[in-house]
Structure 1
Amino acid sequence: MAIISMRQMLEAGVHFGHRTARWDPRMKRFIYGERNGIYIIDLEQTLVRIEDAYRFVRDLVANGGNVLFVGTKKQAQDPVRIFADHCGMPYVNERWLGGMLTNFDTISKRVSKMQEYERLRDTGEFELMPKKEALLIGRELEKLQRNLSGIRSMGRRPNAIFVVDTLKEHIAVTEARKLGIPVIGVVDTNVNPDVIDYPIPGNDDAIRANELMARVIAEAVI
């Protein structure tokens, strides 16, 4: 059974790239042609690359590995959160904090701080604090939850990351490469695919396309 069909990709608009004025020549091998000033991505190649990524993730998870889903642009936030939750994997969909991978110990301490603040809130200890102190901690908790809730259970560095929009998430990609963590990434026509271990040529600006890609990776996990 095919992991994904050509029809599904066409319906989701996976084949639409950026305007021809905005492109990275290193994506040339993944481009089928051009229509009305828009690059059209070669979905035959997308299909092959999706299958490669699917097998990699399936085997990684079967051997006890985990995958961090990353996508902070508006069109990626919900797909990343929904499908990461669906397959029980961590995610970052609000803001990539510098050092999330390269300075993981510090990030882990911030997660612990968030969990301690949550405990204080849930046990009613907030109500025993001076109002000003409780207000400040409450605000800090909201900020921590916004940025770190998706990795609260990660516990260790991921064995791979799945990225929607590798250009926007270049810091995440750079950190992963520095640590030798494989990167699976949806690569649109304006990015460099050569820095991605498992590039999946596709539209990273459409919600439906991002949902489709995130779902495939989630299914590989399950």
Structure 2
Amino acid sequence: MATTPSQVGIRELLEAGVHFGHQTRRWNPKMRRYIYGEREGIYIIDLLRTEALLRQAQEFTSELAARGGIVLFVGTKKQARDAVKDAAERAGMPYVNHRWLGGLLTNFQTINQRIRRLHDLERYQAEGQLDLLPTRERLSALADLAKLQANLGGVKHMQRAPDALFVIDLKVEAIAVREAHRLRIPVIGLVDTNCDPDGIDYVIPGNDDAMRSCRVVADAIADVAAERRLQFLSEEEAARQQAAAAAEADRVAAEAAAAEQAAAAAAAEQAAAAAAAEQAAAAAEPAVEAPAPANTEAAPAEAAPQEDTPA
């Protein structure tokens, strides 16, 4: 179950200038429902709506991070770069804050080859192998490394497509939003009064041109992501340790059973060997002849010689 997200109230939003929209002549009518009014030619965003919708976006992010989901933070305009980078790093999430490479989502396998190239160059540099190259090749490799770090440094540990995007300025990041829609990846967007909110799953009406505004909203999303991700990792580690302990117990029990079986087999083998030895010893003894039975019947008496009687 998701916990209550970190609260960002009206005061924080007001102090950060989240309520300032664009000039009234530069607006998108679809943002009408999020506008409180107009002052000195500038639209004022309804912060009550912003607060409620930010809460919904936080709840979605919390539930996503609780099951190990990935939120890709995107903000390449100057006002958003630092806020996006700091928030994503604190949450342990990937980010793009320099330039969106077309196909980052829809052609991730190809982009992943460039990410592997980045890892290789970073390893070569750490091991000092780049210093061994000829000057021209070394400078070329360093230039390639710098370019890859700028464009892909924030996603170099992202091994699959993200589960959601957090985007600052839908117009600037139109390609990223389009790729997310193609893959049906939910989008959380800080949407100013000049943008089209249609198709954005979690609209956060607010100023996307002020650094403080970008930071307070990015931090609000990152805070719940960091909290729930840490909880997920802790639970995952506990489950891993429990599984390892169970496997160790099974191994010990199996070894004990095997030892018991081996002992029983050895005892049976010894008993069989003893019985065989007894049989062999008995077979080797000489046979003893039985005495002849005594003749109990009396032998017939010899006839006594008869004397001649005188006539």
Note whether the superposition's TM-score is higher than 0.5: yes
Establish whether residue 207 from structure 1 lines up as the match of residue 194 from structure 2: no
Q: Where does 1:47-196 land on structure 2 (aligned, <5 Å)? A: 47-196=51-200
The one of the two structures with greater contact order (alpha-carbon pairs below 8 A, sep at least 6) is 1
Identity of aligned residues (%): 54
Q: Where does 1:28-39 land on structure 2 (aligned, <5 Å)? A: 28-39=32-43
Q: Deviations over 1:61-92 (max 9, x none)?
A: 11111100000001100000001001110000
Distance 1:205 1:195 in 2: 21
Q: Which has the higher strand share?
A: 1
Structure 2, unaligned runs of 5 or more: 228-311
Q: CA RMSD in A?
A: 0.9
Instruction: Give the total of aligned pairs.
Output: 222
Return the offset for 1:29: 0.5
TM, length-normalised to structure 1? 0.98
Q: Please say which structure displays the higher CA radius of gyration.
A: 2
Q: Deviations over 1:124-154 (max 9, x none)?
A: 1112212111111111111000111100111
Distance 1:88 1:109 in 2: 22
Give, as a single letter, the amino acid of the residue that structure 2 aligns with 1:72.
Answer: T
Distance 2:131 2:92 in 1: 34
Q: What is the SS of the residue equivalent to 1:155?
A: coil
The residue aligned with 1:22 is: 26
Give, as a single letter, the amino acid of the residue that structure 1 aligns with 2:69.
Answer: G
Distance 1:127 1:73 in 2: 34
Distance 1:14 1:71 in 2: 16
Q: What is the SS of the residue equivalent to 1:195?
A: coil
